[in-house]
Structure 1
Amino acid sequence: MSASHDGVSVTHRRYIPYGHAHYGGNLVDGAYGLGLFGDVATELCILTDGDEGLFASYADVQFKAPVKAGDVVEATATVTRTGRRSRTIEFTLKVVCRADPERGDSAATVLDEPIIATTATGTVVVP
């Protein structure tokens, strides 16, 4: 068994441009967050194993709140189980800033409490 990487975490922040709005009300599709989960999982595998690894599966995905164009989101991946060649990872996507068009076209607000938009559990495989 390889050394345990349990508890190791990676976080990325990203601004979501209006060009990514996919539905009315400037909503962004759920796949956007899953793509970010792939990005943080890749960095996590590089950090812990020196390899990009391969995403094998999601065991659970929960869409809890909408993500909108103009949001700043934070995607976090944390290793919760280290196997010989696999890692179980918990993912969280939080909205930390949101556009505030009532104050102006480019106005935005840092949220006092981040909104948990998406959670997931996934498995990656490393050589």
Structure 2
Amino acid sequence: MTGSLEGLTVTHRRYVPYAHAHYAGNLVDGAYVLSLFGDVATEVCIRTDNDEGLFASYSDVQFRAPLRAGDVVEMTGTVTRVGRRSRTIDFEARVVCRGRPDKGESAAEVLAEPVIVATATGTVVVPAPPPAQL
């Protein structure tokens, strides 16, 4: 693969069910966001290498705001570096809709401005490319 894959962006959205709340205030743990980043990374690998790849590491993980049950969270991964067998991906998770139990049992709203809840950088590895055919 070449550096031409740099800038490839994959985005997923997911409703966060109340079953994932672990703490008071319906807070969801940070590991939930990291697992969603892993799903985005899998799609990146499929798109770049026709393989699911393997996650090798996270670096610079930052939890910036709470994620709550009832949120709709959008995760984006952008390829920032392409090596022979590795890809570096920058991730961002944003809440785009939020439940509003204070306004009613099933009330929710679209946020005027998304709230960034987490960022990270990750490295994935993919199989070596096949030898060049003559």
TM-score where L is the length of structure 2:
0.92
Q: Aligned residues, how many?
A: 126
State the alpha-carbon separation in 2 of the partners of residues 71 and 106 from structure 1: 12
Give unmatched runs, 5+ long, in structure 1.
Answer: none
Identity level (%): 71
Runs of 4+ in 1 over 2 A off after TM superposition: none
Deviation at 1:93, TM superposition (A): 0.5
Q: How far is the alpha carbon of 1:21 from its aligned partner?
A: 0.2
Secondary structure of the 2:31 match is helix
Partner of 2:33: 33
Code of the residue aligned with 2:110 in structure 1: it is: V
The amino acid that maps onto 1:8 is: L
The Cα of 1:3 is off from its aligned counterpart by 1.8
Q: What displacement does 1:40 show?
A: 0.3
Aligned partners of 2:115 and 2:50: how far apart in 1?
Answer: 32
String of CA shifts for 1:26-67, please: whole Å, max 9, x gaps. Answer: 000000000000000000100111000010001210000000
Separation in 1 of the partners of 2:81 and 2:48?
13
Structure-2 separation of matches of 1:59 and 1:67 = 20
2: CA distance, partners of 1:24 / 1:77: 29
Corresponding residue of 1:61: 61
Q: Where in structure 2 are the equivalents of 1:110-121 lying within 5 Å?
A: 110-121=110-121
Q: Is structure 2 residue 99 aligned with structure 1 residue 105?
A: no
SS at match of 2:22: coil
Deviation string 1:93-121 (CA, Å, 9 cap, x unpaired) is 00000011122100001000000000000
Whose radius of gyration is greater, 1 or 2? Answer: 2
Alpha-carbon distance in structure 1 between the residues aligned to 2:97 and 2:12: 14
Could you tell me which runs of 5 or more consecutive residues in structure 2 were left unpaired when the two chains were aligned.
Answer: 128-134
Instruction: Give runs of aligned pairs for residues 59-98 of structure 1, distance below 5 A.
Output: 59-98=59-98
Give the distance between the partners of 1:59 and 1:102, measured in 2 at CA.
Answer: 37
